[in-house]
Amino acid sequence: MHERAQRAEGLGFDPVGPDGALPEVPQVPLTLRERRKATTMRRVQTVAVDLFDVRGFDAVTIEEVAAAAEVSPSTIYRYFGTKERLVLHDEYDDLFLRLVPVLLAQHDPVTATEKAMALLMPAHLGDERMIRRVQLWFDHPAIRAAGYLLMDEMADDLAQLLAASPRHEYTLPQARVVVGALVGGLITAIRDWHESGGDGDLTAMIADGVQAMRRAFGGDGRR
């Protein structure tokens, strides 16, 4: 199978156009069951964030979210795991993890991160839940702590992808250091945007942060 066809088949779309440009973010094909689950999670998260905004995170119970969203508490625990992850869940995380191996096959880790964010940020910024979730994340200590744990889990997943990439020669411990720096930089850029009142251009702030990491790392980041 042609390389481009292999990339498109494994990912659900080709993330790099024929001229090397980034395309619009497409919809990854999902089964009916996956679509129903995604729809339910989106509705539950929207209801939860609405309640947290009005009454405060600590004052709202899982049972109240379930009743307002017309699902059972067990469904919330099954889909989200914890109350904090009602805020932290990001439906684009799976897409990001599917993008990364494809981009790492062509680019150094910093450039791969830059291109992945360029693909996903427009969709994120078009989702009003994202802005409210970020506010809750950095304003509430329990959510903030859970967020850093979630990012640590994400970094472990990304490090395994980097260590497995045939283009690079990182051991898993080395990949964890590289990915930890990249994830930490991205989270810091989002925090800076939040602390500035959320009025700035988040995409530009992340891009500026990536460029700073590129200068700090030196070279193209490839081994």
Top mean pLDDT of 1-5, 28-32, 57-61, 192-196 is at: 57-61
Say how far apart CA 101 and CA 94 lie, in whole Å.
12
Question: Domain 32-88: which topology?
Answer: Arc Repressor Mutant, subunit A (1.10.10)
Backbone angles phi, psi at 196, to 5 degrees: -85, 5
Q: Give the predicted TM-score (pTM) of the model.
A: 0.79
How big is the chain by its Cα radius of gyration, in Å?
18
Domain spans, the chain:
3-11+90-217, 32-88
**What does the pLDDT average to over 31-59?**
93
Please name the residue ranges forming H helices in 81-171: 85-88, 93-104, 109-125, 128-139, 141-164
Which of 100 and 81 is assigned the larger pLDDT?
A: 81
Is residue 221's pLDDT more than 60? no
Is residue 22's pLDDT more than 80? no
Is residue 13's pLDDT more than 70? no
Categorize the per-residue pLDDT at 1 as very low, low, confident or very high, splitting at 50, 70 and 90: very low
85-120 pLDDT tens trace: 999 998 888 888 888 888 898 899 998 888 888 888
pLDDT of residue 200: 77
Q: Which CATH architecture is the domain 3-11+90-217 placed in? A: Orthogonal Bundle (1.10)
pLDDT of residue 143: 96
Mean pLDDT taken over the chain: 83
Give, to the nearest 10 degrees, the angle between helix 62-69 and helix 73-80: 110
**What does the pLDDT average to over 107-134?**
83
pLDDT of residue 123: 74
151-205 pLDDT tens trace: 999 999 999 999 999 999 999 999 999 999 999 998 998 889 888 887 778 888 8
- 3-11+90-217 shares its CATH topology with 32-88: no
pLDDT of residue 219: 54
Say how far apart CA 99 and CA 151 lie, in whole Å.
17
